[in-house]
Structure 1
Amino acid sequence: MRDAYTTKADPQFASLQTKIDALQKTYMAQQMATDKNRKFFPDANSTLRVTYGKVKGSTPRDAVSYNYQTHLAGVMEKYVPGDYEFDVPKKLIDLYDKKDFGNYKDKTGDVPVGFTATNHTTGGNSGSPALDANGNLVGLNFDRQWEGTMSDINYDPRFSRNIMVDTKYILFIIDKFADSKWLIDEMKVVK
């Protein structure tokens, strides 16, 4: 299979990718020449990415409002046994039912799972760290809000939001769900 890929598929792919890259440069140059007042964001693949923003929810359209924070209760609300997207392991359900959250719960008494912010992200940003003003890891980027997926072309501050998994949830999963507290012991966890 590897030989077939390297001899047949990869050379075709490389040839097409070279053409696509050249056309993309022409396309971008024409956009920049046409719309001189617009801000254009570069392709960040294979580069260090730095963005900044504020934790914030959004109201993308009439009568629709998204809070900035989700919790483990929301995971349980979406639970569908056997569904490839919304199944939840029994151990996680048991931890939730017992409210065995350790010190990973927030002021609501629940474990924060994800949050949104105004950071500009693009394809390939998944896994990028989210740091607070003091340089502490507070989350990892993994997605964009549906209404803001066009932000590569047009970043709209009203509803372009990136979505991050909360560090408290990561630590909760490592400690309580995976029983790997020894990993937590190797970290400097800021409370």
Structure 2
Amino acid sequence: MEAIPLTVAPGMTRKRGCATAVVALVLGAAVGGAVGLLGGRTAGLVSGGVVAACFLFVAWAAARRRLSLEGTAVVARTLGSKTVDLRRADRIELMVSDVRGMRTVSVLVGQGRRTINISLAVYAGTGGRELGVLAIRKLADAFAASEHTAGLVFSQLLVAQLRAEAQGAPAADRPLYQLAATAPQGKVVQRLSADAVTRFVASLD
């Protein structure tokens, strides 16, 4: 079974990992220095090392994360693997995150206790990066086969995105960008209700 990568921008993941590593070293040094002033050099080195190691582990794990679609199953691999079959997903939600002017549109899918966040597009200003055409088309097919009531709506959303791309529409005229733009500001991460996504998809017709 062919595995379709679900990565918006591989280079962006590496850059975020490097940025997190730098933050880890800076925080580790800061915490170590503060603790060292109170508890001595050894305590400072130990505490600084622990803080830096924790953040470096997070950066390493983020850089290793791989997401793919295999049939109708979304598979996330880091140290181990986690799978959510979209046909039997019991949770499908649209998420919009806003960090330093970059808005990420993603869909959170869950099956039992397992949840996976699939980034669909990342926008900054009037441009950005989106999942490739093949990945979006395969995701649309998988959502269409879902038993979840929201599956068909998300499939229609992705089909509308494909249609806009095929017509050569600029980013600002594409459904995913419009969803990102209409989400209220002031929240780092916010969920759009299924009703809101349904109304938005209906307005595209």
Normalised by the shorter chain, which TM-score bucket? under 0.3
Of Structure 1 and Structure 2, the greater strand share is in: 2
Higher alpha-carbon Rg: 1
Please state which structure has a larger fraction of its residues in helix: 2
Give the TM-score taking structure 2 as reference length: 0.22
